[in-house]
Amino acid sequence: MKYNIALLKGDGIGPEIVDSAVRVLEKIARKYGHEFVFTPYLIGGAAIDACGEPLPKETVEGCLASDSVLLGAVGGPKWDTLPGNLRPEKALLGIRAAMGLFTNLRPAKLYPALKGECPLRADLVENGFDIMIVRELTGGIYFGERGMREGKWGEEAYDTECYSRMEIERIAKVAFETAMKRGKRVTSIDKANVLESSRLWRKIMHETAERYPEVEYSDMLVDNAAMQLVRNPAQFDVVVTSNMFGDILSDEASQITGSIGMLPSASLGETSRGLYEPIHGSAPDIAGQHKANPIATILSAGMMLLHSFGLSRENEDIVNAVDAVLNAGYRTADLAHGAPSLSTEEITDKILAQI
């Protein structure tokens, strides 16, 4: 099969980690007889430097014409003084909106070989954990009405949390369909004891749960969820929540895995085309030093094979190769704690050898 993949390498370590993922995809293509055609486009700070805007029209058109998109990272101190509409991060919201991506899938898995990296007590993670956070991506307070006004106590700012039935129904469906392919458990996170938007969220989640009797369903308030993630993470299978709550909880979940450099993500919409990226940032302090951990980006490429192209065996090969390399004791600098470590290219070579 032939697939056209748009590459958004971005800034900082973005080009290095995307190059590693491309090498892995090329190995998969040779093994299974696929053809991956890679086309690079500018985004973020690199795009600002080249053409004065973080998300050029050519990039949007290229992504929409592709079968899927692989992103590295954007941003860095070089562009921190620019106005908000010209910041590299603005490109992320723009490309998600242009592609109609309303779902963010963010797995948080504790690899057995990395149990020592987990900041939680050993007895709390003895059996590991494997959580899939399903975050609504294009609604809620990040996209609601906002502004400045004169209030009771003088100048005040406001941001509005708003969710429609349609937005909640479609993310609920993603969560339950995802659970059907995993452990058949869904936990919906809200703040229904305070927020009207959460009350509608909970009502629609309950309606959806009735259509999936095989799935064990529960509600949890967001403050309790933040506590439970560090108290007993293994209790969770699929977690579904709003944009802001998902943003916060997924970052918390990433930290208890031991390394943010290990975690991939997928942003999906109504079509098979998605945007796949590691959850970490551009790490400009180590850019060009061959220290970056490419595993999150490599696993993101695997998620692309699975969710956009339906290539489950190929994704499994990548996941198994990463497991084997970690189990053999190979580490990049972020996991080596001063011990001998492998470069970005060397750890990629080890993964390639396992495929």
> Any catalytic annotation for residue 130?
no
Q: Could you tell me the sign of the dihedral formed by the alpha carbons of 240, 215, 258, 106, in that order? A: negative
* Pairwise CA distance, residues 37 & 35, whole Å: 6
223 is catalytic: yes
Alpha helices, DSSP H only, in the chain?
Answer: 14-32, 45-51, 57-65, 90-99, 165-180, 196-209, 222-231, 243-256, 295-307, 312-327, 333-336, 344-354
Q: DSSP 3-state helix, strand, coil percentages of the chain (rounded to 5)?
A: 50, 20, 30
86-141-204 Cα angle (round to 5): 140
Pairing relationship of beta strands 103-109 and 130-136 according to DSSP bridges: antiparallel
Which member of 19, 78, 130, 142 is catalytic? 142
Look up 80 and say whether it is catalytic.
no
Annotated catalytic residue within 19, 130, 251, 349: 251
**Residue 247 annotated in active site:** yes
Q: Which of 163, 191, 291, 317 is catalytic?
A: 191
Selection from 56, 72, 58, 60 nearest residue 18 by Cα: 72
- Pair 21, 298: CB distance under 8 Å: yes
Q: Helix (H, G, I), strand (E, B), or coil: what is residue 341? A: coil
103, 275 contact by CB (below 8 A): no
For residue 68, which of 315, 247, 317 has the smallest C-alpha distance? Answer: 315
Look up residue 61 and give its two tokens.
């058109």
Measured between alpha carbons, how far is residue 355 from residues 295, 327, 330 in Å? 14, 15, 16
Report which DSSP code applies to 332.
Answer: B
- Amino acid identity for residue 167 in this structure: E
Catalytic residue among 219, 237, 247, 334: 247
Is 142 one of the annotated active-site residues of the chain? yes
Task: Please choose, from the candidates 60, 63, 76, the residue with its C-alpha nearest in 3D space to the C-alpha of residue 276.
Answer: 63
- Return the closest-CA partner of residue 106 out of 296, 315, 332, 323: 296
Residues annotated catalytic, as ranges: 142, 191, 223, 247, 251
